Amino acid sequence: MRVLLDIPRHKTAEFEVCDTRPLDDLAKQAHTRFGSIFNPATTYFSGRFGHTARETLTTCTPWLTLRTCVRGGKGGFGSTLRSQSNRSTPTTFDDCRDLYGRRLRTLNDAKRIVEQTQTDEKLREEAKERRRKNIEENMRDRPVKKHRFDDTEFERRCEEAVELTRETTRKAVRNKLRKVKESESEGGVEPLIPLFEGELSSSDDESSSGDDDNSTENK
């Protein structure tokens, strides 16, 4: 039986094998002919177009391929696959059309624009209402806050200062009166405006007005 065999990185080779055990005979001849390439532990025969080697041998012109076993990687393919699935984009129907021939992407964009416009108007109204409330609060007369001071030392100093001022004023008034009386006794000149200690009563006001009238008549 004549068998064609595709060798990796080589041309297609032709072998004459026995009909009873064609695969074993083909393996021996391939190992003898291509010893550095063929290794029964790492290579195997397969048919073309997805067929197995035994199915291919039943055809009129058997054509096999020498394939090499590939070792597995370091693992971790499951986590890589899960991460890729998480990054995969969801299926959308934006490119589809409705019964009127309009694309769904256009309709979705129009709905999104309308919703955004309504949201913007609502936000503007809320901002305007906040500004109005702030203006009303600022224009409103706020109640005067009363503060209570419980500093006894400060109150004592204030009382002492007031009392000292009163005492100083009394002394100044007494000195002025004494000087006026001394000047009257020496020169006999009456003061036009008499000085009194304390507040003037109504009788004192009348007497002072009568004295002023008499003095004007004498003149």
Q: Where are the domains of the chain?
A: 2-68, 97-139, 153-183
Lookup result for tokens 């769904």: 104
The reported pLDDT for the residue numbered 163 is 94
Q: pLDDT means per 10 residues in the chain (219 residues)?
A: 71 73 75 69 69 72 70 64 69 85 91 93 94 87 72 87 94 90 70 49 47 47
Q: Does domain 2-68 have CATH number 3.10.20?
A: yes
Report whether 94 contacts 105 (CB < 8 A): yes
The reported pLDDT for the residue numbered 108 is 92
pTM flag (> 0.75)? no
- In whole angstroms, give the CA distance from residue 1 to residue 16: 6
- In whole angstroms, give the CA distance from residue 47 to residue 6: 10
Report whether 145 contacts 151 (CB < 8 A): no
Per the rule left: phi > 0, alpha: psi between -120 and 50, beta: everything else, 38 is beta
The reported pLDDT for the residue numbered 203 is 44
- In whole angstroms, give the CA distance from residue 42 to residue 16: 23
The reported pLDDT for the residue numbered 167 is 93
